[in-house]
Amino acid sequence: MRKTICQIVDSSGNLPRKFIEENNISEIPFYFKFDKPNYYRENVDYKITEFYNHMEQYPNEIPKTSAPNIYDWLTVFEEQYARGIKNYIVTTISSKLSSSFQTAILAKQIFEEKNTDIQMKVISSNTCACGQAALEIGIAKMIASGRDFVDIVETISKMVTSVSTLFAVNSLKYMKSGGRIGGATVFLGKLIDIKPVCEFVDGVVRPIKAVRGRKNSLKTMVDVAVSRMIDINKMIIIIQNAECQEDASYIINYLGELTNYTGQIFKSDLGIIVGAHSGPGAIGIGFVENPLI
């Protein structure tokens, strides 16, 4: 069956590559650079493994990131229109974290002036990373099910308010560089091995609990996630990690032990744009209720 709705996302959610291909999702890349003048496109010019290896080898080179521009969005809109697509659902990182949402809105306005026969909805996910990915997986499932454009848009507005994005970092350095925490907190964290568990609420970082040791932070993150799930079997769940596959496996196993859950858990790398501000070893779990259940 030919799809009549095009799903377009920015790369902050970093959906699993296979899922993107299977669902014909268009991904607009963010830009990043190290201590060099040239910017690279996420998932296009640079592999994620190479990115995190660079961060570990050159710890003093804090990456800088930049949102997609209007032209980036317009190019994809026009490509899809040329294929006969008239309905577009666009999701971005939280508008409080990046200008990606604003540039998408501006591109939408330009595109609508030229093409009056289209329907387009641009939605700020109000989060990023694994939470954004969980939302976008849910959208893809609705599109694949053949649901009506207006119905999908109305459902998304409800889903956005209930997405959870929990994460833990292995080093506080990168959160300090991004202005998320102060220098005193970093100093104290190093002394007593503090590994904070945090979440994104209304598009901003909020600490949940400061625990000692890596394994404790992973367990705490899963404990909090499970406590928020009324019925885990109705959830879309995704785990993202920044070059810490063993920890991702530990989380999945621990989640299974707690809940006896045997359903699908999506997995992908933590994207460059979020990873630039959380560093190698960052890991997160995102979830939202499956709109088809």
In the chain the domains, ranked by start, together with CATH numbers, are: 5-160 (3.40.50.10170), 164-289 (3.30.1180.10)
Is the pLDDT reported for residue 207 higher than 50? yes
Greater confidence, 73 or 59? Answer: 73
Please, what is the average pLDDT of the chain? 91
pLDDT for residue 42: 95
Spatial distance between the Cα atoms of 117 and 102, rounded to a whole number of angstroms:
22
The CA distances from residue 244 to 52, 210, 253, in Å, are 11, 20, 15
Segment 7-54, tens digit of pLDDT: 999 999 999 999 999 999 999 999 999 988 899 999 999 889 999 999
Structure tokens at 242: 């920044």
Return the sign of the alpha-carbon dihedral for residues 237, 15, 133, 216.
Answer: positive
Task: Give SS3 for 32.
Answer: strand
Residue-wise pLDDT for 243-293, tens only, equals 999 999 999 999 999 999 999 999 999 999 889 988 899 999 999 999 999
**pTM recorded for the entire structure:** 0.93
As separate numbers, helices (DSSP H) first and strands (DSSP E) second, the chain gives 11, 13
What backbone phi and psi angles, to 5 degrees, belong to 258?
A: -70, -35
List pLDDT tens digits, range 122-136.
999 999 999 999 999
Q: For the chain, give the percent of residues with pLDDT over 70.
A: 92
| CA nearest to 123, candidates 90, 163, 76 | 90
Is 50 exceeded by the pLDDT of residue 190?
no
Percent of the residues in the chain that have a pLDDT greater than 90, as a whole number: 77
